[in-house]
Amino acid sequence: MDAQQFKELLQRYRQGRCTDQERNLVEAWYHHRANTPYPLPAEEEAQAGERMYRKITGELAHDRPAVRLLPGRFFRRYWMAASLLLAVLTAGYWLLQKETTGVATTGAKPADTPPAIVPGGNKALLTLADGSVIVLDSAANDTLTMQGKTLVFKQEDGQLVYRAASGGEQEAVAWNTISTPRGGQYQVVLPDGSRVWLNAASSLRFPASFSGNERSVELTGEAYFEIESVAVSAAGGKKKKIPFKVTITQPGAEEKTEVEVLGTHFNIMAYADEATIKTTLLEGAIRMNSARQTQTLRPGQQARLARNGQMEVEDDADTEEAIAWKNGLFQFHNADVQMIMRQIARWYDVDIEYAGNIPSDKFEGEIPRNSHITEVLKMLELSNVHFKIEGKKLIIL
């Protein structure tokens, strides 16, 4: 088994597609290392790997851990890759089963000191058509306001819901904006029943009621959409489906980008500090329009639009990774340190500073987004990337 085959095995294990023999191979090795939370020197790791492989086929796994961390990086030699996998698996299990606030990440606070850096949560501001602002995370779970003839209320689960009141035609369209800070996320149900999950440092501008020949919203940052395909009355009493359009605004981009949909599930990631706009389709069909070209996506495809207007489409995109944030996970696949740090900065509301050369390694990993930041950093430290925390600043050494 070479490094690529080993990587594919880990992917199958994460997705639950392993055979019993493959699962036993990974888990028995994990349990063998359960009392070795830190990696050995490289030469000893290689020797240990060879010894364990000869014994592994007769070894059975016991209790399967509820949470797994995948390998920090893959070395050229298979046994070194395997050893690092086990170190990260063991460290992840140890971190998540015991008190984690005192993990010895460089500069981390001791366990009895409240952490200055905490995971994000449901936080957002709602800006109404008249410019008034409602702080959603502190607002009561009840009716918040009326926008025209649309009732706006906050549910117990934290969702913001728009529901048209009965009686009469809607008045002039009232545009609202929901925006999340760094360290925030929120979910909104639009007037047509479509659902939108908004990631940290993002905003969605939308009308309190949809009218006319299209449903149009504007997005900055990242959001996951589940769009209703709505039949409405048209001229002559006929019915038609109104297109749903997302206009993406990204500071620094040469042109605006538009995604047109009819009843579908998709994710758009369009942060200002990312080099490309990524639109990933899970169900249905969408058409991504830029000033230079148009691409129609099928489920499983991802369109990547560069700032210069060039668009590429990946046919077999990692849809799990694209919506991991919506499912409460950090999920890294072939990710560099800077990509990971951008996610950490947005979710933990920290500033990132690099001291010295930026590591060039690629990382694989999965960990809940509600984890203490030291758990995430520990996964990277096992791959020899070190950090220092100073207040709300994270320094990569």
**pLDDT value for 358:** 83
Q: Does 31 score more than 90 pLDDT?
A: no
Q: How far apart are CA 281 and CA 264, in angstroms?
A: 8
**pLDDT value for 228:** 87
Q: What one-character DSSP code corresponds to residue 8? A: H
Per-residue pLDDT reduced to its tens digit, 339-397: 999 999 999 999 999 998 887 888 888 889 999 998 888 878 877 788 999 989 999 98
Identify the residue with better confidence: 97 or 114: 114
Q: By C-alpha distance, which of 212, 204, 139, 137 is closest to 176?
A: 204
**pLDDT value for 57:** 37
Helical H segments across the chain, by residue range:
3-15, 20-32, 42-56, 78-97, 319-322, 337-348, 373-381
**pLDDT value for 80:** 36
Kindly tell me the burial class for residue 167, based on how many C-beta atoms sit within 10 Å of its own C-beta (0-12, 13-18, 19 or more): exposed
Name the token pair of 115.
Answer: 């952490």
The residue-averaged pLDDT of 4-16 equals 65
Per-residue pLDDT reduced to its tens digit, 56-70: 433 333 333 333 333
Per-residue pLDDT reduced to its tens digit, 42-55: 454 445 455 444 44
Name the token pair of 211.
Answer: 């009218």
Q: Which domains does the chain have, with CATH numbers?
A: 3-97 (no CATH), 121-322 (2.60.120.1440), 329-396 (3.55.50.30)
Q: Does 294 score more than 50 pLDDT?
A: yes
Concatenating the DSSP letter of every residue in 200-216 gives SS-EEEEESS--TT-EE
Across 40-44, 113-117, 224-228, the highest mean pLDDT is recorded for 224-228
Q: Is the sign of the CA dihedral 35, 41, 44, 46 positive or negative?
A: positive
Beta-bridge partners for 162: 152
Flag whether the pTM goes above 0.75. no
Q: How far apart are CA 246 and CA 227, in angstroms?
A: 11
Q: By C-alpha distance, which of 164, 267, 250 is closest to 208?
A: 164
Per-residue pLDDT reduced to its tens digit, 166-212: 655 556 678 999 999 999 999 999 998 999 999 999 999 999 988 87
Kindly tell me the burial class for residue 263, based on how many C-beta atoms sit within 10 Å of its own C-beta (0-12, 13-18, 19 or more): middle
Name the token pair of 218.
Answer: 């504007």
